[in-house]
Structure 1
Amino acid sequence: MAGFTPAPDLTIYSARTAWSAAEAATARPVLAFNAGEINPRTGHFPVPARAAECARALDAGGALIFAGIGIKNVNRLQGVAFDRVMREASVMSWRDRGSRDGAGFGDFAPDWAYSEGASVDDWAPAAERPLIAVTMRFDRGWPGEEWLAAVRAFAVAMQTRIVTVAQVARDAPRAVRLARALGGEYVTPSSMRHDALDDYVRAVYRQSLVVISDRAHGLIIGATEGAYPIGSGTDPSKISRLLTAVGLGDLVGRYDQFGDFAARFETHLPRLAPAVTVARAEIADLTARIHTAMDAVA
């Protein structure tokens, strides 16, 4: 809610029933399916009630947008039946190639988050970035002393200092513990509101040479502010797909691979700006396609 700017043509519904009634009463509706991660179980996706809403939009001469969605685990799709309405959508675009290939239809474009952040031309050069930012999920295994030592050594080799940040409020205790273990500093936000957190982490990443994380959008937001993303976690498959989608997946892996990534880091650094530039162009193309679909029913 903190991300919405009040506007006279914006109505926010706090109950799905009221929203559904408004959608059903619209002559030619534009229905945008929720973006983000999906975890379809055996059976029908979307569930019949949601699929029926999508079908009504098309039957009424409206537009149906599936864009920016990704499958949590593409290896667990046996028994999943994607509704045909997804194939008939005005725009059907996944957020990574693995999701598209797993589903077997549609196209894909990079995650929406790559379109945010500072212009590449405004990024501080690597030599003027004194920080290494670390942000890790609260609900994953502790990385262990070997990883901690490797991160400390990397910071020394890069002549940087370590700061930890909390990408979301629930990550704050993990960020504090990491700061202590790494000999770094936990950078405290002014507020845990989502809009304030976004400003806070971006300000840190604009000063960071690298962002190290097992949280996908920590890595992506870091990349959009000029901090090279190094993905490190217990199960990095999802973050690997989202970064590979823009050519930044080479330094994503398990905790025990971090030392190798650190050794190869400087050879990969020049790839960041071109990758983000191309990603933003691809998202702009997807955005234009969405506007075309919407304009067709205006």
Structure 2
Amino acid sequence: MKTFYWCTGQDDNIGDIVLRRRYADELRKLGDLHIYVGSASPSFIAGMGFDVSDTQYTSAVLWLKQMLVPRVARRTLLAFNPGELQVGRKSAISTLVILPVQLWLRAWGGRCVRIGLATRGSDKLYEIPIRLSNALCDSVVWRDTESRKKWRVGQPGLDWAFDENMTSIGTSSGRTKLALTMRSDRPELSEDALKAISEVARRRGLNLVVFSQVKRDRAACQQLSKRLQCELLDWDERVGHLEQEALVRQLASESVGILSDRIHALIIGATEGAIPVGIVLSEDTKVRPHFDAAGLTRVSTDIRKMGYGDVLTFIEGVLARGPEISRKAIEARELVREMASTLVVALPIAARK
């Protein structure tokens, strides 16, 4: 059997590698893997950890053409890109382009799946191709709670990244740090929030460390570390994705908690045994739905209108739930593996013989 995997993401984001790599590992078990990587950088591709047996395509046309051969189509599984889909003109056009291929595969006994996806934005016109594409999929599984409500189709799931780690969850001994990273496209943390974060670290005898998981956040993280007068784990231009991921995971394994509004900084933290604390500087429509889907509830909130005392109480409250959250993180890993089982159900009939 051949699996055609649409695998493109934000090139400066470690989180986009982690979730797609985990999905690739699952798809590879089904047969030959044909991966569309688009214009991804060599460092991004190296971070994906592709196997030598995988076939990579930088041309979408060549990748799509492979599925149009009848003898290939009847034993083909098309796996759509996981992660986040921004509803708009670009996503509508790319979905329209692939709709005829979906129809072709169904006609010849092939299958299509969309597993581990969340959507952002709303536009009734641009949603039409996506709704048609969902209708042609044999399995649709969402990674957050809000997307399933919006599209009214598919099954609940969670982010693939919840099942990648290098440290045993629940290992708390030897953790001496409190790690922090924030989005660069949001307002800066208030002075009250910074004082609260510093106080949490002081009370617990922890060293504060600001880190970059997304390269475009570098300048904001550098400024944040200066404001807090604390250590910085930067993402140097000479450092590749795999090396930076290893550094971030090492930091998480040494940290009691990860404070962030980046979902994959929090997920990576959770998988490495740190307590995820979502401090959000906008309406909490992304962090909360993703962690709710994984069973990790009440770990994030919008802190824009909170003063020093409220921020301090919130952070301490989440950290105090460490054992409970660690158990939920272990359960989330098992939920990812259950989600992977939906691939077997969606296999082409010809591939089951």
Residue pairs, 1:162-177, within 5 angstroms? 162-177=208-223
- Structure 2 stretches lacking a partner, 5+ long: 1-44
Q: Secondary structure of 1:98's match?
A: helix
Alpha-carbon distance in structure 1 between the residues aligned to 2:264 and 2:174: 24
Partner of 2:229: 183
8 Å CA contact 1:152–1:182 kept in 2: the answer is yes
Partner of 1:52: 100
Size of the aligned set, in residue pairs, is: 294
Partner of 1:39: 86
The residue type equivalent to 1:54 in the other structure is Q
Choose from 136, 146, 153 the match for 1:105.
153
The residue type equivalent to 2:264 in the other structure is H
Choose from 338, 341, 347 the match for 1:288.
341
Q: For 1:134-170, what per-residue CA distance to the aligned partner results, in whole angstroms no more than 9, with x for missing partners?
A: 0111222111211111110111112111001100222
Partner of 1:128: 174
Q: Secondary structure of 2:179's match?
A: strand
Partner of 1:247: 295
Identity level (%) = 25
State whether structure 2 residue 256 is matched by structure 1 residue 212: no
8 Å CA contact 2:87–2:123 kept in 1: the answer is yes
State whether structure 2 residue 57 is matched by structure 1 residue 13: yes
Partner of 2:280: 233
The residue type equivalent to 1:146 in the other structure is D
- Aligned-pair Cα RMSD in Å: 2.3
8 Å CA contact 2:95–2:133 kept in 1: the answer is no
8 Å CA contact 2:109–2:349 kept in 1: the answer is no
The residue type equivalent to 1:36 in the other structure is G
Residue pairs, 1:86-105, within 5 angstroms? 86-105=134-153
Partner of 1:273: 326
- Structure 1 stretches lacking a partner, 5+ long: none
Q: Secondary structure of 2:115's match?
A: strand
The residue type equivalent to 1:200 in the other structure is L
Residues 87-96 or 215-224, more deviating: 87-96
Query: Scaled by the length of structure 1, what TM-score is found?
Result: 0.90
Deviation at residue 241 of structure 1 after TM alignment: 0.6
Residues 235-244 or 191-200, more deviating: 191-200
Alpha-carbon distance in structure 1 between the residues aligned to 2:164 and 2:51: 21
Choose from 220, 238, 245 the match for 1:198.
245
Q: Secondary structure of 2:347's match?
A: helix
Deviation at residue 41 of structure 1 after TM alignment: 3.6
The residue type equivalent to 1:18 in the other structure is L
8 Å CA contact 2:182–2:262 kept in 1: the answer is yes
Deviation at residue 10 of structure 1 after TM alignment: 1.1
Query: Scaled by the length of structure 2, what TM-score is found?
Result: 0.77
Deviation at residue 15 of structure 1 after TM alignment: 1.1
